[in-house]
Amino acid sequence: MNGKPNPRTWNRLPGRGGRLARVLVAAGSIATVLSMSAAHASAASGTITLTETSYYTSSSSGPIYGYLTTLFNNFEKSHPGIVIKREDIPNSPQYLTTVAAEASAGTLPSVLMLDNPMVPTLASYDVLTPLSTLGPTAIPTLGAAQQAESKFNGTIYGYPLYTNTIALFYNKAILSAANIQPPTTWAQLLTDAKALTNSQHYGIAFSGENCSGCNVWTFIPFLLSNGGSLTRLTTPQSVQALTLWAELAKEGAIDKDFTTWNQGPPEAAFAAGKAAMMINGPWFFGTLNSVKGLNWGVVEIPVNTPGQDVVGPIGGEVWTIPKSNPATEKAAFELLNYMAQPSVDAALGTSTGDIPTVRAALPLWSKTASPLYQPFLDELKHGFVRTSTLGVLYPRVESAIGNGIVSAVIGKQTPAAAFSTAQSNVNSILEGN
Amino acid sequence: MSTQLPGDEQPTAQAMWSVRAEVGADEVPTTARPAGYGGRNLVPRSTGGTHGARPVRPATTLHWLRSHRKQAVLLAFVLPAVVYIIIFFAYPLVYGFKMSVEKLGFIAGNGPFIGLHNYKVEISDPVTRTALMNTAIFLVVSVVFQFSIGLGIASYFNRRFFLARFLRSLIIVPWLFPPIASATIFSIMFAGQGGIIDEMLRSLHLISSPIFWFDSSFKAMFVIIIVNIWIGIPFNAVLLYSGLQDIPGDLREAAALDGAGPWERFRYVTLPLLRPVALIVIMLGIIYTVKTFDTVVLLTNGGPDNGSQLMSTWAYNLAFTNFQTGQGAAVGDMLFIFCMIVAFFYIRATRREVVMG
C-alpha cells in the first residue's frame, strides 16, 4: 500500500502470511473507528488535545514507536497547553478504510500520517489543511524530489519527513561461491539469476503480487530507468522491462509463487538463504542484521544499458493536518514543525530505518547510518514520486498495470500483449471511466 | 398439535401466530375478536373450542384495551428481532444499494446520484463476468463435493466399529479451525518451493518439476475449491450423520428381508428419509460457499490476473484497493441478487419437501 508497504507489520510474517495480518487487522480497525468518536468529543478547556494517527504501533513497529513516544513527550514539555493523544492503527488496507470512514464522518485525527501516494486522494476531498494557510512551512528545507510528495495541485498538504526506495540485495556467500559479482545490467541480472538458481536457492526474489505497493512499486525502477512510462506501456522501452521479468520467471530464476508475494516473502526467502538476491528496501536492514551467519550487501538495481540512471520509486510517509478548528490546526502545525527540526528528523530517519528528508538532517543521520544506504541515496537522486503526474488516479493505474505484469510473468500473455491490455485499461482510467 | 380436534386441519403459519396470542385469554369471546383474527383454528385449544358456546359480551373499551395489550405483548416479543433485523440487515442492505447508485470514491459520504451507471460499468467489465463465472463454478463444485464426501463419511460412521466415536469426533476438527488459519496452512502446503504437496507428488514420482499452484487461473481455482471443500466436509458429515441416526434401522432391515440389496436400501430407504436433512445441509452449504471471502483473499487474493476473482473478493478489491466504492457496492449488490436468484430456484424446487418434512 505504500512505497514501503508496511514493512514494520509485514517483515515478521513468513510466506504469504502478510495477507493474514491484513485480514486480522480488519476487526481491530472497526473497534478503533468506534472508539475514535468518543475521543474527539473531549475538548478540555485551556489545553488543546491533538489526536495523532499513524500505523506505528507498539506491537508491530520497532524503534519508531518508542521514539515517537519520546518525541511527543518532549514536545508536550516544551509546549504546555498541548496534549497529544495517540490513536494508532496497525498498517493494512484497513488503515485506509478507517481513514475513509473517519473522513466521511468528519472525525479525522488532528495529525494524520499517510503513505505518500494517498495524499492526493485525501486532499482531493478537501479534508486536509493546506499548510501554507498556517504559516511558513519547512518544505523548502527538504530535498527537491521529496517536496513533490507533499503536494496536490501545487498546494502543500503535509511533511514527508523520511523517505526510502528499493535496491538489489545480494547474499555475499552465495555469490562469491559461484564467483559472481553483483549484476549491473539486465543481461547480467538474467544470466546471474539463472546461474545462481539450484536446488538450494533461487537466483532472485522480489514482490510480484498485484497489490498496493507490491509488483508495480518493484517494477518502477526497471520501467523508468529504461525510459518507459506508467502511462505509455506499449513503447519498446516499457515492454523490454516487462520482458526481463517474464524471462526471469520463464527461466525459473525466481520462485514462480512470487505473484502471490508482497514485500514480506522475498525478505523471508532471502533471510533463509533461499534466494541469492532480492529487490527490497532498507526497512529490512534491522531484520536482516539479526539473522545469524547472513552476510549481505546492497547495490543499485541493474539497468538495461550501462549509463542509464536508476530511477527509484520514492517511498515514505507524509504527516498531514486534517481540517478541524484553527486552534487545533495551529497546534498540529507546531508539532509538524517540531518534527521537521534537523535533529528530530535525523532521529526519525534512524528509528524508521528510512532516510531523513530535511537536508540539514542528513549529515547528522549519516554519522550513525550504515554505508549500505548509499545505493538507496544514489537512486533517490532520480527519485520518482508515483502520484506526481497521476495524482488521485495512481491506485487504479497501479492495479491495471499490476494485472498486466502478472499476466506476462505467468505466461498467460506475451509481455507486449499484456501491456497492450493494461494500456487500454489505463487509457480508460485516464479518460475518467 | 396434539390438542387438535378431530377433523381440524393443520394450522397455517398465520393461524399459529394467532393461536399463541390467545394463550391465557380464553375469557375473550371468539366472536368479538378484531378482524383478521378470524378462522376456526383460532379457537382457544384449552377450552375445547366449542364455537359460540359462550355468551357474547359487548365490545367495551376495556375489552379493546385488553385485546390491544395482547397485541402489545405480541409485539414486545417480536420487537427485539425486528429492531435487530432493521439495524443489522435492512439498514446495511439499503445503504449498500444507495451507495451502488452514487458516484463514490475513497470517501463514501453522499455522492451524486448516477442511477444504474455503476451496474452498467461493472456488467460490461470482463473481470465482473469472470468473477460471476468463477463464483458459479466455485459454488457448484464445492457444494457437490462437500455433500457427497460428507455423505460418504456419514454413512461410514453410521456403522458401529472399533474407535468409531473417537474418529467421528476427529472429523469435525477442520470445522473448528478459523478459516484464516486453514487458508494460511494451505498456502504454505501449496507453495512451489518446499510445499508439502509438491514434495509428496515428487517423492511419489508423479511430477518431476515443481508445480506452481498460483500461476494459472485453473490451478488457483482448483486450490481455493479444494480448500473450501475441505472446510465444508465436517459440517456436511456431522449433520448428515445425525440425519442417518434418526432413520430407524428396522426399515432397512425390513427392506433387506424384502430382498433389497445394499444399493437399493440406500437408494430407496435411506436417501428419501434423509431428504429433509440433506436439503437443509445443501442450503447452508450454498450460503456458506457464496459468501466465502477470507480463505480466497488469503490464498490467491483473486489472482493471478483476476483469474480466481470471486464476486465477494472483486467487490472488496474495487472498493478498498481501487477506491471505486460505488462500483464495489454495485458488485456486492449483484452478488446479493445472484444469491436471491439461487435461493428462489432452490426454494421453488424444494418447497414441497420442506413443508412435508
Contact B298 A210 (CB under 8 A): no
What's the total number of domains in chain A?
2
What CATH number is given to the structural domain containing A224? 3.40.190.10
Q: With a cut of 90, say whether residue B3 has pLDDT above it.
A: no
| Residue A399 pLDDT | 94
Domain ranges of chain B: 13-78, 117-356
C-alpha cell belonging to residue B85 = 433485523
| Residue A239 pLDDT | 97
Whole-number Å distance between alpha carbons of B251 and B258: 11
Contact A406 B304 (CB under 8 A): yes
| Residue A227 pLDDT | 96
List Cβ neighbours of A346 (8 Å cut-off, separation of 6 or more): A356, A358, A361, A362, A364, A365
Sign (positive/negative) of CA torsion A369, A374, A377, A379?
negative
Q: With a cut of 90, say whether residue A277 has pLDDT above it.
A: yes
B179 touches chain A (CB under 8 A): no
| Residue A107 pLDDT | 93
Q: With a cut of 90, say whether residue A373 has pLDDT above it.
A: yes
| Residue A274 pLDDT | 94
Q: What secondary structure, in 3-state letters, does A215-263 show?
A: HHHHHHHHHHHCCCCCCCCCCHHHHHHHHHHHHHHHCCCECHHHHHCCC
Lowest mean pLDDT among A242-246, A275-279, B18-22, B216-220: B18-22
A385 touches chain B (CB under 8 A): no
| Residue B310 pLDDT | 95
Contact A257 B294 (CB under 8 A): no
Contact B191 A15 (CB under 8 A): yes
C-alpha cell belonging to residue A132 = 501554507
To which H or E segment does residue B279 belong? helix B271-290
Query: What mean pLDDT is reported for chain A?
Result: 89
Q: With a cut of 80, say whether residue A41 has pLDDT above it.
A: no
| Residue B72 pLDDT | 81
DSSP code string of A158-176: EEE-EEB--EEEEEHHHHH
Do A185 and A333 lie in a common domain?
no
| Residue B353 pLDDT | 55
Q: With a cut of 60, say whether residue B172 has pLDDT above it.
A: yes
Alpha carbon of B299: minimum distance to chain A alpha carbons (Å): 8
- Taking only the tens place, the pLDDT of each residue in A51-70 is 999 999 988 778 899 999 99
DSSP state of A315: B
Tell me the mean pLDDT in the region B103-125. 87
Do A252 and A394 lie in a common domain?
yes
Confidence of residue B56 (pLDDT cuts 50, 70, 90): low
| Residue B62 pLDDT | 67
- CA distances (Å), origin B331, targets B193, B313, B318: 36, 10, 9
Do A408 and A276 lie in a common domain?
yes
| Chain B interface, best mutation among A29, A122, A260, A413, by max B CB count within 10 A | A260
| Residue A33 pLDDT | 44
List, as ranges, residues 64-123 from A with C-beta within 8 Å of B.
Answer: 93, 96-97, 100, 103-104, 121-122
| Chain B interface, best mutation among A33, A257, A262, A270, by max B CB count within 10 A | A257
Do A59 and A143 lie in a common domain?
yes
| Chain B interface, best mutation among A13, A22, A23, A214, by max B CB count within 10 A | A23
Do A415 and A274 lie in a common domain?
yes
Alpha carbon of A75: minimum distance to chain B alpha carbons (Å): 32
Q: With a cut of 60, say whether residue A376 has pLDDT above it.
A: yes
DSSP code string of A39-63: HHH---SSSEEEEEE-S--TTT-TH
* Residue A105 one-letter amino acid: A
Size of interface A-B (CB pairs under 8 A): 105
Q: With a cut of 60, say whether residue B47 has pLDDT above it.
A: no
Whole-number Å distance between alpha carbons of A101 and A107: 8
Confidence of residue B54 (pLDDT cuts 50, 70, 90): low
Tell me the mean pLDDT in the region A27-55. 61
Confidence of residue A433 (pLDDT cuts 50, 70, 90): low
Instruction: Indicate whether A129 belongs to any domain.
Output: yes
Confidence of residue B352 (pLDDT cuts 50, 70, 90): low
Which pTM was predicted?
0.81
Q: With a cut of 70, say whether residue B34 has pLDDT above it.
A: no
Q: With a cut of 60, say whether residue B110 has pLDDT above it.
A: yes
Contact B305 A412 (CB under 8 A): yes
Alpha carbon of A259: minimum distance to chain B alpha carbons (Å): 7
| Residue B38 pLDDT | 40
Do A221 and A139 lie in a common domain?
no
All residues of chain A having their beta carbon less than 8 Å from the beta carbon of residue B298 are 16, 19-20, 23
| Chain A interface, best mutation among B114, B209, B212, B299, by max A CB count within 10 A | B212
Do A66 and A211 lie in a common domain?
no
CATH of domain B117-356: 1.10.3720.10
Q: Which of A22-26, A27-31, A42-46, A123-127 has the highest mean pLDDT?
A: A123-127
Instruction: Indicate whether A256 belongs to any domain.
Output: yes
Tell me the mean pLDDT in the region B218-228. 95
- Taking only the tens place, the pLDDT of each residue in B306-333 is 999 999 999 999 988 888 899 999 999 9
Q: Look at the block and give the residue holding cell 494524520.
A: A112
Q: With a cut of 50, say whether residue A253 has pLDDT above it.
A: yes
Q: In A113-227, which ranges are continuous DSSP H helix? A: 119-124, 144-149, 172-177, 186-195, 215-225
> Which chain A residue is nearest to residue B118, measuring alpha carbons?
A433
Do A116 and A136 lie in a common domain?
yes
Do A381 and A392 lie in a common domain?
no
* Residue B36 one-letter amino acid: G
Confidence of residue B61 (pLDDT cuts 50, 70, 90): low
C-alpha cell belonging to residue B216 = 494459472
Q: Which of A230, A237, A208 is nearest to A387 (CA)?
A: A230
Q: Which domain holds residue A46?
A: 7-164+315-385
B339 touches chain A (CB under 8 A): no
Confidence of residue B10 (pLDDT cuts 50, 70, 90): very low
A73 vs B31, which has greater pLDDT?
A73
Tell me the mean pLDDT in the region B77-92. 93
- Taking only the tens place, the pLDDT of each residue in B279-295 is 889 988 998 898 899 99
Instruction: Indicate whether A2 belongs to any domain.
Output: no
Whole-number Å distance between alpha carbons of B314 and B332: 9
Instruction: Indicate whether A190 belongs to any domain.
Output: yes
Confidence of residue B64 (pLDDT cuts 50, 70, 90): low
- Taking only the tens place, the pLDDT of each residue in B181-194 is 899 999 999 987 77
Backbone angles phi, psi at B337, to 5 degrees: -65, -45
Instruction: Indicate whether A322 belongs to any domain.
Output: yes
List Cβ neighbours of B348 (8 Å cut-off, separation of 6 or more): none
Whole-number percent of chain A with pLDDT over 70: 89
Do A226 and A121 lie in a common domain?
no
Of the partner residues B187, B193, B300, the one whose CB lies closest to the CB of residue A274: B193
List, as ranges, residues 195-224 from B with C-beta within 8 Å of A.
Answer: 212-216
| Residue B55 pLDDT | 54
C-alpha cell belonging to residue A260 = 502471490
Do A75 and A142 lie in a common domain?
yes
Do A27 and A97 lie in a common domain?
yes
The arrangement of strands across the sheet holding A158-160 comes to A82-86, A48-53, A111-115, A317-320, A158-160
Of the partner residues A15, A100, A259, the one whose CB lies closest to the CB of residue B106: A100
Contact A260 B212 (CB under 8 A): no
